[in-house]
Amino acid sequence: MILVVLLLILAALVYDSNTRIVEDTYTVANGRLPEGFSGFRVVQLSDLHTTRFGENNSKLFEMVRGQAPDIIAVTGDLIDEERDEDYVRELMTGLTQIAPVYYVTGNHEWASGWVRDLFSILEECGVNVLRNKYVVLERNGDTIVLAGVDDPNGPYDMKTPRELVSEIREEMGDPYILMLAHRNDEIDMWSELGVDAVLCGHAHGGLIRLPFTEGLIAPGREFFPTYTSGIYRQGGTQMLVSRGLGNTSFSLRLFNNPQVVTAVFEREI
């Protein structure tokens, strides 16, 4: 009897940990941010793995809309193995009605076998696909650079992050750079390149979040990973790691609810 009760409690916890979305707001403060971007709000959605929240993703849309974002950043692993074009169209049609959407690939896109078709669908939906490129954002008369890199599992001859940042500096001088990147383990590189802020995911919060740890399991199945949730600082770089929203085929979350991240940028003197 006790065993049955314990199993029921565990089942309820697992259900909650995989279906109830939470929202967390982080402040990214830096003296290099132009004044016009004080209060700039980015909603970050990472690692959806074709997961829906509510009918036709209605719960997710409601939560994102409630955060009143200036832009929405989708940081990779949007899809999983299964080809699901309807999911992508439904999600991106909903999100682009809320705010401009910027997207970078994760490792799962490159493993999916339909990444080229995915790019076409995203572009049809009005999503800005940042494949080792950058755009200039303007707000209250000031500008910053928003850049995005493909996951390292992309084409072997693609432009490297180093080349992208050099290109930005050659063309734009020394702007504030906000980078979108799927991987969570490259803070050394971003810091060396002098990127101001990075939004990433990939870690799924370490799947099972236990007290005093960064979660239990890394995406590569190693135990006790690092850089799985929240803001990490190195030099002048701040890297914000989302715990993500979905799961890969055989994994489950525990004490690690799907997370909608809002990054609020502030100028700090």
- Of residues 127 and 181, the one with the C-beta less far from Fe ion: 181
Q: Tokens in use for 97?
A: 């009605």
Q: Which is nearer to Fe ion, 106 or 206 (CB)?
A: 106
Residue 231: what are its φ and ψ, rounded to 5°? -95, 135
Q: Which of 76, 21, 16, 59 is nearest to 252 (CA)?
A: 16
**Alpha-carbon torsion 37, 199, 228, 55, what sign?**
positive
Token couple for 29:
């403060």
Q: What are the beta bridge partners of residue 233?
A: 238
Other residues' Cβ atoms within 10 Å of the Cβ of residue 20 = 11
Of the candidates 64, 46, 66, the one whose C-alpha atom is nearest the C-alpha of residue 100 is 64
Q: Which two tokens stand for residue 3?
A: 């065993």
- Measured from the CB atom, the residue of 106 and 215 that comes closer to Fe ion is 106
**Closest residue to Fe ion using C-beta atoms:** 202
Identify whether the C-beta of residue 109 lies closer than 8 Å to the C-beta of residue 118: yes
Smallest distance, Fe ion to C-beta of residue 186, A: 13
Q: Give min distance, CB of 3 to Fe ion, in A.
A: 36
Binding site for Fe ion (CB under 5 A): 77, 106-107, 202
Q: Compute CA distances 179 → 56, 123, 137, 191, 203, whole Å.
A: 29, 20, 12, 12, 17
Least Å distance, CB 170 to Fe ion, is 31
Least CB distance from residue 151 to Fe ion, whole Å? 7
